[in-house]
């Protein structure tokens, strides 16, 4: 599976958990460059115009994960 | 058993609650981590943690894993689901994916060191949920200026038609920008706090992204916020703008480190 095939809500989850919510920095830290690289790729996808089309630009609220 | 194998401590989130939170609701975490545990950080704050076997969660293994989207996605979704299961607490402070310490006591020491800042963050996000809103121009063949059916005879009329099409597009973009600013202000009015993300590299031009923002919304306003985004999506759709709303999320964007 490549980044391009990842589904929309998955990209949002990745975007949130990789980029945000940092109060602690753990001792086993990821190379900043690695995370930045991934984050840039994500950002490009999250922000791409194609995505609006493929997701149907769903109005309303998409839950962050599918609830059972 | 397993006493010889050293174990690191993986931290999902910090939870503030009047009583010790229950782990019953929490789904399982990223593959390879141990069962969830709570560490008491004092004064109503708990860390939701798990044992991280170094063989699977040392730096090199994680670095390699970052390039495996399947694995990364499983970890990300599982991490988020665990954090998400604590949102009913007074406040939840999500940690970044792969926040790992050498031991429980090292994690607690770090919390103690940052406690003042953490308490400020908790006060800020308490009772709030995050919504993400993106607005972008959707290329729409229907609203695009129609091409004249007749064959254009002269070079001059061709250029004039082209200029008109360009002007129409530009005007639409200007109008759109103004509408999006109004929409942003309206949504911000229902929120406790807002984070507006700068346009991505490459410029808004290439991505058609007019707004990318996170809103922190406290409960009484949450329903109104959802209604407002739905209304906005309806209003803007006709003009060729897509509104994308995600959430409610734990307040990932509103914790200051």
Q: Rounded to a whole number, what is the distance in angstroms from the first to the last CA of chain B?
A: 37
pLDDT of residue B245: 92
- Across the interface, of A18, A24, A30, the residue whose CB is closest to B11 is A24
pLDDT of residue A1: 43
Of B104, B98, B82, B95, the residue nearest B24 (C-alpha): B82
pLDDT of residue A32: 46
Q: Is A61 an interface residue toward B (CB < 8 Å)? A: yes
Find the residue in B nearest to A38 (Cα).
Answer: B66
Provide the β-strand partners of residue B225.
none
Please write the tens of the pLDDT for every residue from A33-60: 455 555 555 555 555 444 433 433 333 3
Which residue is it, tokens 């200007």?
B174
Of B100, B112, B110, B113, the residue nearest B7 (C-alpha): B100
User: Could you tell me the two tokens for B195?
Assistant: 């984070």
- Give the CA angle between residues A51, A57, A63 to the nearest 5°: 95
- Chain A, 8 to 47: residues with Cβ < 8 Å from chain B are 9-10, 12-14, 16-31, 34-35, 38, 40, 43-44, 46-47
DSSP A1-64: --GGGS-HHHHHHHHHHHHS--SS--SSPPPHHHHHHHHHHHHHHHH-HHHHHHTTT--SEE-S
Instruction: Say if residues B79 and A9 touch (Cβ distance below 8 Å).
Output: no
pLDDT of A21 higher than 60: no
- Across the interface, of B14, B66, B98, the residue whose CB is closest to A26 is B98
Instruction: Say if residues A2 and B72 touch (Cβ distance below 8 Å).
Output: no
Chain A environment of B242 (Cβ under 8 Å): 52, 57
Q: Is B121 an interface residue toward A (CB < 8 Å)? A: yes
Grouped pLDDT means (10 residues each) for chain B, 257 residues: 68 93 94 97 96 88 81 91 92 89 90 90 92 82 51 77 81 81 95 86 63 92 94 87 90 82
Split at pLDDT 50, 70, 90, the class of A26 is low
Q: Could B76 and A10 be called an inter-chain contact, meaning their C-beta atoms sit closer than 8 Å?
A: yes
Rounded Cα gap, residues A28 and A31, in angstroms: 9
Mean pLDDT of chain A: 53
Find the residue in B nearest to A56 (Cα).
Answer: B242
Nearest chain A Cα distance for residue B37, angstroms: 17
Cis peptide before B9 (omega within 30 of 0): no
Chain A environment of B255 (Cβ under 8 Å): 20-23
Q: Other C-beta atoms within 10 Å of B123: how many?
A: 10
Rounded Cα gap, residues B163 and B56, in angstroms: 60
User: Could you tell me the two tokens for A55?
Assistant: 């997701």
Instruction: Say if residues B179 and B152 touch (Cβ distance below 8 Å).
Output: no
Of B96, B246, B200, B69, the residue nearest A40 (C-alpha): B200
State phi, psi for A18 to the nearest 5 degrees. -90, -30
């Amino acid at each position: 599976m490549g980044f391009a095939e990842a589904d929309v809500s998955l990209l949002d989850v990745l975007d949130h958990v990789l980029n945000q919510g940092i109060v602690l920095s753990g001792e086993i830290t990821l190379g900043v460059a690695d995370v930045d690289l991934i984050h840039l790729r994500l950002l490009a996808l999250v922000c791409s115009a194609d995505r609006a089309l493929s997701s149907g630009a769903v109005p309303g609220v998409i839950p962050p994960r599918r609830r059972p | 058993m397993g006493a010889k194998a050293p174990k690191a401590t993986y931290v999902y989130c910090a939870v503030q609650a009047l009583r010790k939170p229950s782990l019953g609701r929490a789904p399982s975490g990223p593959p390879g981590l141990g069962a969830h545990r709570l560490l008491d950080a004092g004064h109503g704050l708990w860390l939701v943690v798990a044992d991280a076997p170094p063989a699977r969660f040392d730096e090199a293994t994680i670095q390699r894993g970052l390039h495996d989207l399947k694995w990364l996605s499983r970890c990300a979704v599982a991490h988020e689901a665990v954090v998400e299961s604590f949102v009913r607490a007074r406040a939840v402070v999500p940690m970044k994916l792969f926040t790992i310490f050498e031991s429980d006591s090292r994690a607690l020491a770090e919390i103690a060191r940052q406690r003042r800042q953490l308490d400020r963050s908790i006060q800020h996000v308490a009772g709030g949920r995050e919504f993400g809103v993106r607005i972008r121009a959707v290329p729409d063949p229907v609203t695009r200026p129609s091409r004249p059916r007749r064959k254009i005879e002269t070079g001059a009329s061709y250029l004039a038609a082209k200029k008109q099409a360009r002007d129409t597009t530009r005007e639409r973009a200007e109008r759109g920008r103004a509408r999006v600013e109004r929409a942003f202000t309206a949504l911000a009015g229902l929120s406790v706090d807002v984070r507006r993300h700068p346009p991505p590299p490459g410029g808004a031009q290439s991505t058609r992204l007019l707004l990318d923002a996170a809103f922190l919304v406290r409960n009484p306003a949450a329903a109104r916020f959802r209604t407002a985004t739905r209304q906005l999506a309806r209003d803007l759709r006709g003009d060729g703008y897509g509104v994308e709303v995600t959430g409610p999320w734990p307040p990932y964007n509103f914790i200051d480190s």
